[in-house]
Structure 1
Amino acid sequence: MIRKAVSADIMNVMKIIEETIVEMHSYGNTQWDEHYPQEKDFLHDMQRGDLYLSEREEKIVGFACINTIESAEYNSLPWSLQETAMILHRMAVAPARRRSGVGLELMNFAEERALENNMRYLKTDTYSINIKMNALFVKCGYQRIGEMKFPSKEKPFYCYEKVLRRVR
Protein backbone atom coordinates (compact mmCIF):
# COMPACT_ATOMS: atom_id res chain seq x y z
CA MET A 1 0.00 0.00 0.00
CA ILE A 2 1.18 3.53 -0.74
CA ARG A 3 0.06 6.53 1.27
CA LYS A 4 1.10 10.13 1.98
CA ALA A 5 3.56 10.62 4.81
CA VAL A 6 2.57 12.30 8.07
CA SER A 7 4.89 13.85 10.65
CA ALA A 8 4.86 10.69 12.80
CA ASP A 9 6.57 8.84 9.90
CA ILE A 10 9.74 10.95 9.78
CA MET A 11 11.71 8.86 12.29
CA ASN A 12 11.11 5.71 10.21
CA VAL A 13 12.01 7.53 6.99
CA MET A 14 15.29 8.68 8.54
CA LYS A 15 16.05 5.15 9.75
CA ILE A 16 15.72 3.92 6.15
CA ILE A 17 17.98 6.80 5.03
CA GLU A 18 20.65 5.83 7.57
CA GLU A 19 20.53 2.17 6.49
CA THR A 20 20.58 3.16 2.82
CA ILE A 21 23.61 5.42 3.26
CA VAL A 22 25.55 2.60 4.96
CA GLU A 23 24.58 0.20 2.17
CA MET A 24 25.41 2.72 -0.59
CA HIS A 25 28.82 3.48 0.90
CA SER A 26 29.57 -0.26 1.12
CA TYR A 27 29.83 -0.36 -2.68
CA GLY A 28 31.41 3.06 -3.17
CA ASN A 29 28.24 5.04 -3.88
CA THR A 30 28.51 8.42 -2.17
CA GLN A 31 25.32 9.90 -3.64
CA TRP A 32 23.86 10.35 -0.15
CA ASP A 33 25.79 11.20 3.00
CA GLU A 34 25.46 13.07 6.30
CA HIS A 35 24.76 16.30 4.38
CA TYR A 36 22.03 15.08 2.03
CA PRO A 37 19.28 14.12 2.34
CA GLN A 38 18.42 15.43 5.77
CA GLU A 39 15.30 15.29 7.91
CA LYS A 40 14.40 18.85 6.87
CA ASP A 41 14.21 17.73 3.22
CA PHE A 42 11.64 15.08 4.06
CA LEU A 43 9.69 17.36 6.40
CA HIS A 44 9.47 19.88 3.55
CA ASP A 45 8.35 17.14 1.13
CA MET A 46 5.74 15.98 3.63
CA GLN A 47 4.43 19.50 4.29
CA ARG A 48 3.92 19.99 0.53
CA GLY A 49 2.11 16.64 0.33
CA ASP A 50 4.79 15.18 -1.95
CA LEU A 51 6.24 12.38 0.23
CA TYR A 52 4.71 8.95 -0.38
CA LEU A 53 5.39 5.83 1.66
CA SER A 54 5.18 2.16 0.75
CA GLU A 55 4.03 -0.05 3.60
CA ARG A 56 4.06 -3.80 4.19
CA GLU A 57 2.46 -5.24 7.32
CA GLU A 58 2.01 -1.69 8.64
CA LYS A 59 5.76 -0.97 8.40
CA ILE A 60 7.34 1.64 6.12
CA VAL A 61 9.52 -0.18 3.61
CA GLY A 62 10.20 2.57 1.08
CA PHE A 63 9.35 6.09 0.03
CA ALA A 64 9.66 8.66 -2.72
CA CYS A 65 9.07 12.35 -3.19
CA ILE A 66 6.90 12.87 -6.28
CA ASN A 67 6.07 16.35 -7.56
CA THR A 68 6.57 18.72 -10.51
CA ILE A 69 9.58 20.60 -9.09
CA GLU A 70 12.54 20.35 -11.46
CA SER A 71 16.14 20.89 -10.46
CA ALA A 72 17.65 23.99 -12.11
CA GLU A 73 20.33 21.68 -13.54
CA TYR A 74 17.64 20.08 -15.73
CA ASN A 75 17.36 23.25 -17.85
CA SER A 76 20.35 22.48 -20.08
CA LEU A 77 19.39 18.86 -20.83
CA PRO A 78 17.90 17.61 -24.13
CA TRP A 79 14.51 16.44 -22.82
CA SER A 80 12.18 14.94 -25.44
CA LEU A 81 9.17 17.00 -24.45
CA GLN A 82 8.82 20.60 -23.34
CA GLU A 83 5.86 20.17 -21.02
CA THR A 84 5.17 19.77 -17.33
CA ALA A 85 6.54 16.51 -16.00
CA MET A 86 6.16 14.52 -12.82
CA ILE A 87 9.56 14.39 -11.12
CA LEU A 88 10.78 11.55 -8.91
CA HIS A 89 13.12 12.63 -6.07
CA ARG A 90 14.66 11.05 -2.96
CA MET A 91 13.49 7.48 -3.41
CA ALA A 92 14.70 4.67 -1.15
CA VAL A 93 13.74 1.14 -0.23
CA ALA A 94 14.76 -0.31 3.13
CA PRO A 95 17.80 -2.53 2.41
CA ALA A 96 16.13 -5.51 4.12
CA ARG A 97 13.14 -5.16 1.74
CA ARG A 98 15.05 -4.92 -1.54
CA ARG A 99 14.11 -7.26 -4.37
CA SER A 100 10.54 -7.59 -3.09
CA GLY A 101 8.82 -5.26 -5.56
CA VAL A 102 8.81 -2.11 -3.41
CA GLY A 103 10.89 -0.10 -5.90
CA LEU A 104 8.65 -1.15 -8.80
CA GLU A 105 5.58 -0.28 -6.75
CA LEU A 106 6.90 3.24 -6.12
CA MET A 107 7.88 3.70 -9.78
CA ASN A 108 4.43 2.55 -10.93
CA PHE A 109 2.83 4.88 -8.40
CA ALA A 110 4.77 7.83 -9.85
CA GLU A 111 3.36 6.97 -13.28
CA GLU A 112 -0.17 6.75 -11.83
CA ARG A 113 0.29 10.17 -10.17
CA ALA A 114 1.36 11.63 -13.52
CA LEU A 115 -1.66 10.19 -15.30
CA GLU A 116 -4.03 11.31 -12.54
CA ASN A 117 -2.69 14.83 -13.08
CA ASN A 118 -3.03 14.61 -16.89
CA MET A 119 0.71 14.42 -17.42
CA ARG A 120 2.38 12.00 -19.77
CA TYR A 121 5.95 12.70 -18.88
CA LEU A 122 8.26 11.73 -16.01
CA LYS A 123 11.82 12.80 -15.21
CA THR A 124 14.37 11.69 -12.64
CA ASP A 125 18.09 11.42 -12.01
CA THR A 126 20.58 9.46 -9.95
CA TYR A 127 24.31 9.32 -9.37
CA SER A 128 26.11 7.53 -12.20
CA ILE A 129 27.60 5.01 -9.76
CA ASN A 130 24.23 4.25 -8.13
CA ILE A 131 24.04 0.91 -9.93
CA LYS A 132 20.78 -0.17 -8.32
CA MET A 133 18.75 2.94 -9.16
CA ASN A 134 20.17 3.14 -12.68
CA ALA A 135 19.11 -0.49 -13.22
CA LEU A 136 15.63 0.17 -11.80
CA PHE A 137 15.08 3.14 -14.11
CA VAL A 138 16.07 1.08 -17.15
CA LYS A 139 13.89 -1.84 -15.99
CA CYS A 140 10.93 0.55 -15.70
CA GLY A 141 11.36 1.80 -19.27
CA TYR A 142 13.10 5.11 -18.61
CA GLN A 143 15.53 6.42 -21.23
CA ARG A 144 18.80 8.07 -20.24
CA ILE A 145 18.93 11.45 -21.96
CA GLY A 146 22.07 13.00 -20.54
CA GLU A 147 24.00 13.85 -17.44
CA MET A 148 24.64 16.73 -15.11
CA LYS A 149 27.33 17.60 -12.58
CA PHE A 150 27.08 18.87 -9.04
CA PRO A 151 30.17 20.64 -7.67
CA SER A 152 30.12 18.56 -4.48
CA LYS A 153 30.17 15.24 -6.37
CA GLU A 154 33.09 13.69 -8.20
CA LYS A 155 31.07 11.88 -10.87
CA PRO A 156 28.07 12.94 -12.98
CA PHE A 157 24.40 12.22 -12.37
CA TYR A 158 22.49 10.41 -15.12
CA CYS A 159 19.16 11.94 -16.10
CA TYR A 160 16.21 9.85 -17.25
CA GLU A 161 12.81 10.41 -18.80
CA LYS A 162 9.75 8.34 -19.58
CA VAL A 163 6.94 9.29 -21.91
CA LEU A 164 3.69 7.55 -20.99
CA ARG A 165 1.51 6.24 -23.79
CA ARG A 166 -1.84 7.27 -22.39
CA VAL A 167 -3.34 10.18 -20.52
CA ARG A 168 -6.65 9.88 -18.71
Structure 2
Amino acid sequence: MIQNKIDLKIRPAATGDISEIWKILQQSVARRREDGSTQWQDGYPNEEIVRKDIAENHGYVFILNKKIAGYAAVFFDLEPEYEELKAWENPPPYAVIHRVAVSSDFLKKGIATEIFRLIENMVKEKGIKSIRVDTIFDNTGMLRIFEKFNYTYRGEVYFRGNARKAFEKKLQ
Protein backbone atom coordinates (compact mmCIF):
# COMPACT_ATOMS: atom_id res chain seq x y z
CA MET A 1 0.00 0.00 0.00
CA ILE A 2 1.07 3.56 -0.73
CA GLN A 3 0.67 5.88 2.26
CA ASN A 4 0.76 9.65 2.74
CA LYS A 5 0.78 12.28 5.46
CA ILE A 6 -2.91 12.09 6.45
CA ASP A 7 -2.75 8.29 6.57
CA LEU A 8 -4.97 7.86 3.52
CA LYS A 9 -4.22 4.51 1.92
CA ILE A 10 -4.92 3.23 -1.58
CA ARG A 11 -5.85 -0.30 -2.50
CA PRO A 12 -7.51 -2.02 -5.44
CA ALA A 13 -11.29 -2.04 -5.07
CA ALA A 14 -12.94 -5.41 -4.47
CA THR A 15 -16.44 -6.65 -5.24
CA GLY A 16 -17.24 -6.39 -1.53
CA ASP A 17 -16.67 -2.61 -1.81
CA ILE A 18 -19.29 -2.05 -4.52
CA SER A 19 -22.16 -0.94 -2.27
CA GLU A 20 -19.97 1.62 -0.47
CA ILE A 21 -18.42 2.86 -3.73
CA TRP A 22 -21.87 3.20 -5.27
CA LYS A 23 -23.07 5.17 -2.22
CA ILE A 24 -20.07 7.52 -2.54
CA LEU A 25 -20.70 8.02 -6.26
CA GLN A 26 -24.39 8.77 -5.62
CA GLN A 27 -23.37 11.35 -3.01
CA SER A 28 -21.04 12.94 -5.57
CA VAL A 29 -23.79 12.98 -8.21
CA ALA A 30 -26.07 14.77 -5.73
CA ARG A 31 -23.34 17.31 -4.86
CA ARG A 32 -22.72 18.04 -8.55
CA ARG A 33 -26.47 18.65 -9.00
CA GLU A 34 -26.60 20.91 -5.91
CA ASP A 35 -23.62 22.86 -7.27
CA GLY A 36 -25.50 23.43 -10.53
CA SER A 37 -23.09 21.23 -12.48
CA THR A 38 -24.26 19.10 -15.37
CA GLN A 39 -21.56 16.50 -14.71
CA TRP A 40 -22.83 13.01 -13.87
CA GLN A 41 -26.48 14.04 -14.30
CA ASP A 42 -27.15 11.61 -17.18
CA GLY A 43 -27.17 8.25 -15.40
CA TYR A 44 -23.39 7.95 -15.50
CA PRO A 45 -21.55 6.63 -13.63
CA ASN A 46 -23.67 3.66 -12.65
CA GLU A 47 -23.19 0.49 -10.65
CA GLU A 48 -22.42 -1.53 -13.79
CA ILE A 49 -19.49 0.82 -14.55
CA VAL A 50 -18.14 0.27 -11.02
CA ARG A 51 -18.41 -3.51 -11.42
CA LYS A 52 -16.53 -3.26 -14.73
CA ASP A 53 -13.85 -1.04 -13.15
CA ILE A 54 -13.28 -3.65 -10.47
CA ALA A 55 -13.40 -6.65 -12.82
CA GLU A 56 -10.82 -5.01 -15.10
CA ASN A 57 -8.59 -3.89 -12.18
CA HIS A 58 -9.16 -0.17 -12.74
CA GLY A 59 -11.05 0.62 -9.51
CA TYR A 60 -9.24 1.91 -6.42
CA VAL A 61 -10.56 2.81 -2.99
CA PHE A 62 -8.96 5.24 -0.59
CA ILE A 63 -9.11 4.29 3.06
CA LEU A 64 -9.02 6.60 6.09
CA ASN A 65 -9.62 5.31 9.61
CA LYS A 66 -10.58 1.89 8.17
CA LYS A 67 -13.41 3.42 6.10
CA ILE A 68 -13.66 4.02 2.38
CA ALA A 69 -13.22 7.77 2.01
CA GLY A 70 -13.01 7.91 -1.79
CA TYR A 71 -12.95 6.12 -5.11
CA ALA A 72 -11.25 6.55 -8.47
CA ALA A 73 -10.76 4.55 -11.63
CA VAL A 74 -7.23 4.55 -13.05
CA PHE A 75 -6.46 3.21 -16.52
CA PHE A 76 -3.09 2.33 -17.97
CA ASP A 77 -4.23 1.75 -21.53
CA LEU A 78 -5.12 4.18 -24.31
CA GLU A 79 -8.30 6.23 -23.95
CA PRO A 80 -9.96 6.24 -27.41
CA GLU A 81 -11.68 9.60 -26.84
CA TYR A 82 -8.30 11.18 -26.09
CA GLU A 83 -6.77 10.02 -29.36
CA GLU A 84 -8.81 12.58 -31.34
CA LEU A 85 -7.09 15.47 -29.55
CA LYS A 86 -3.75 16.29 -31.16
CA ALA A 87 -2.48 18.76 -28.52
CA TRP A 88 -1.00 16.17 -26.15
CA GLU A 89 2.70 16.74 -25.51
CA ASN A 90 3.59 13.40 -23.94
CA PRO A 91 3.30 10.21 -25.99
CA PRO A 92 1.85 6.94 -24.71
CA PRO A 93 2.02 5.18 -22.41
CA TYR A 94 0.01 7.37 -20.07
CA ALA A 95 -2.40 6.85 -17.18
CA VAL A 96 -5.96 8.15 -17.17
CA ILE A 97 -7.91 9.07 -14.03
CA HIS A 98 -11.71 8.87 -14.11
CA ARG A 99 -14.59 8.91 -11.62
CA VAL A 100 -12.90 10.56 -8.65
CA ALA A 101 -15.39 10.74 -5.78
CA VAL A 102 -15.12 11.53 -2.07
CA SER A 103 -17.53 10.31 0.59
CA SER A 104 -19.72 13.00 2.16
CA ASP A 105 -18.37 11.80 5.52
CA PHE A 106 -14.87 12.96 4.56
CA LEU A 107 -15.44 16.28 2.80
CA LYS A 108 -13.17 19.26 3.50
CA LYS A 109 -10.34 17.06 4.80
CA GLY A 110 -8.08 17.24 1.74
CA ILE A 111 -9.07 13.77 0.56
CA ALA A 112 -9.29 14.67 -3.15
CA THR A 113 -5.82 16.23 -2.96
CA GLU A 114 -4.42 13.11 -1.33
CA ILE A 115 -6.20 10.86 -3.84
CA PHE A 116 -4.35 12.63 -6.64
CA ARG A 117 -1.06 12.46 -4.76
CA LEU A 118 -1.43 8.72 -4.19
CA ILE A 119 -2.45 8.06 -7.79
CA GLU A 120 0.49 10.06 -9.12
CA ASN A 121 2.86 8.06 -6.90
CA MET A 122 1.33 4.78 -8.07
CA VAL A 123 1.65 5.83 -11.72
CA LYS A 124 5.31 6.79 -11.20
CA GLU A 125 5.98 3.43 -9.54
CA LYS A 126 4.68 1.75 -12.70
CA GLY A 127 7.19 3.74 -14.76
CA ILE A 128 4.55 5.77 -16.59
CA LYS A 129 5.58 9.35 -17.30
CA SER A 130 2.29 11.19 -17.80
CA ILE A 131 -1.34 11.35 -16.70
CA ARG A 132 -4.33 12.56 -18.69
CA VAL A 133 -7.58 13.70 -17.12
CA ASP A 134 -10.76 15.49 -18.12
CA THR A 135 -13.80 17.09 -16.57
CA ILE A 136 -16.84 19.04 -17.60
CA PHE A 137 -16.48 22.81 -17.79
CA ASP A 138 -18.51 23.54 -14.64
CA ASN A 139 -16.84 21.11 -12.21
CA THR A 140 -14.94 23.83 -10.37
CA GLY A 141 -13.70 21.53 -7.60
CA MET A 142 -11.96 19.18 -10.02
CA LEU A 143 -10.63 22.09 -12.07
CA ARG A 144 -9.04 23.46 -8.87
CA ILE A 145 -7.38 20.09 -8.21
CA PHE A 146 -5.97 20.04 -11.75
CA GLU A 147 -4.58 23.54 -11.23
CA LYS A 148 -3.16 22.66 -7.81
CA PHE A 149 -1.30 19.67 -9.31
CA ASN A 150 -0.05 21.64 -12.32
CA TYR A 151 -2.00 19.83 -15.01
CA THR A 152 -1.80 21.62 -18.37
CA TYR A 153 -4.95 22.31 -20.40
CA ARG A 154 -4.73 20.60 -23.80
CA GLY A 155 -8.15 21.23 -25.35
CA GLU A 156 -11.52 19.52 -25.54
CA VAL A 157 -12.45 15.86 -25.69
CA TYR A 158 -15.94 14.41 -26.06
CA PHE A 159 -17.58 11.75 -23.90
CA ARG A 160 -21.18 10.68 -24.44
CA GLY A 161 -21.62 13.66 -26.79
CA ASN A 162 -20.47 16.26 -24.25
CA ALA A 163 -17.39 18.47 -24.51
CA ARG A 164 -14.98 18.22 -21.62
CA LYS A 165 -11.78 20.05 -20.73
CA ALA A 166 -8.75 17.77 -21.12
CA PHE A 167 -5.51 18.15 -19.15
CA GLU A 168 -2.14 16.44 -19.01
CA LYS A 169 0.69 16.26 -16.52
CA LYS A 170 4.22 15.08 -17.15
CA LEU A 171 5.49 13.26 -14.08
CA GLN A 172 9.02 13.87 -12.83
SS in 2 for 1:80: coil
Distance in 1, Cα, partners of 2:159 & 2:124: 31
Aligned residues: 163
**Equivalent of residue 104 in structure 1, options 101, 109, 113:** 113
**Structure 1 residue ranges without an equivalent (≥5):** none
Q: Deviations over 1:54-88 (max 9, x none)?
A: 11121111011111234322112210012210110
Q: What do you get for the CA RMSD once the two structures are aligned?
A: 1.5
| Partner residue in 2 for 1:143 | 152
Is the contact made by 2:137 and 2:165 (CA closer than 8 Å) also made in structure 1? yes
| Partner residue in 2 for 1:160 | 167
- The CA deviation at 1:159 is 0.4
| Partner residue in 2 for 1:71 | 79
Aligned pairs (5 A) from 1:118-133: 118-133=127-142
Is the contact made by 2:77 and 2:93 (CA closer than 8 Å) also made in structure 1? no
| Partner residue in 1 for 2:4 | none
SS in 1 for 2:39: coil
Is the contact made by 2:130 and 2:168 (CA closer than 8 Å) also made in structure 1? yes
Identity %: 28
Q: Deviations over 1:15-41 (max 9, x none)?
A: 111111111001211211352001111
Displacement over 4 Å in runs of 4+: none
**Structure 2 residue ranges without an equivalent (≥5):** 1-8
| Partner residue in 2 for 1:117 | 126
Is the contact made by 1:125 and 1:159 (CA closer than 8 Å) also made in structure 2? yes
